Amino acid sequence: MKSPTPGKSDIAGYDFGSERSAKSPVSAEELRYLEQTLGWTGDDAQLLRKHAALFELQAETMVDWWREIIGSQPHLAKWFFTPQGKPDDEYKAAVKRRFVQWVVDVAIRPHDRAWLDYQEEIGLRHTPEKKNKTDNRHTPPLVPLRYLLTFVRVVTPVRQFFESAIADRVELEAIECAWTKAVQLHVTLWTRPYSRDGVW
23 lies in a domain? no
CA–CA separation, 107 vs 86, rounded Å? 34
Residue 136 forms part of a structural domain:
yes
Identify the CATH number of the domain in which residue 67 sits.
1.10.490.10
Instruction: State which residues form the domain around 100.
Output: 49-194
d(CA 175, CA 184): 14
Q: State the average pLDDT for the chain.
A: 95
Interval 39-62: pLDDT, tens: 999 999 999 999 999 999 999 999
pLDDT in tens, 74-93: 999 999 999 999 999 999 99
Taking the whole predicted model, whether its pTM rises above 0.75 is answered as yes
pLDDT at site 58: 98
Residue 183 in any domain: the answer is yes
Q: How many domains does the chain have?
A: 1
Q: Tell me if 126 is assigned to some domain.
A: yes
Nearest C-alpha neighbor of 48 from the set 173, 161, 167, 175? 175
pLDDT at 8 over 60: no
158 touches 175 (CB < 8 A): yes
Q: Is residue 199 domain-resident?
A: no
φ/ψ of 172, rounded to 5, equals: -60, -45
pLDDT of 5 reads 58
- What is the tens place of the pLDDT at every residue in 22-43? 999 999 999 999 999 999 999 9
* 83 belongs to a structural domain: yes
**97-125 mean pLDDT:** 98
Q: Is the pLDDT of residue 1 over 90?
A: no
Under 8 Å between Cβ of 24 and 120: yes
Instruction: Say yes or no to pLDDT of 197 above 90.
Output: no
Instruction: Say what the pLDDT of residue 7 is.
Output: 57
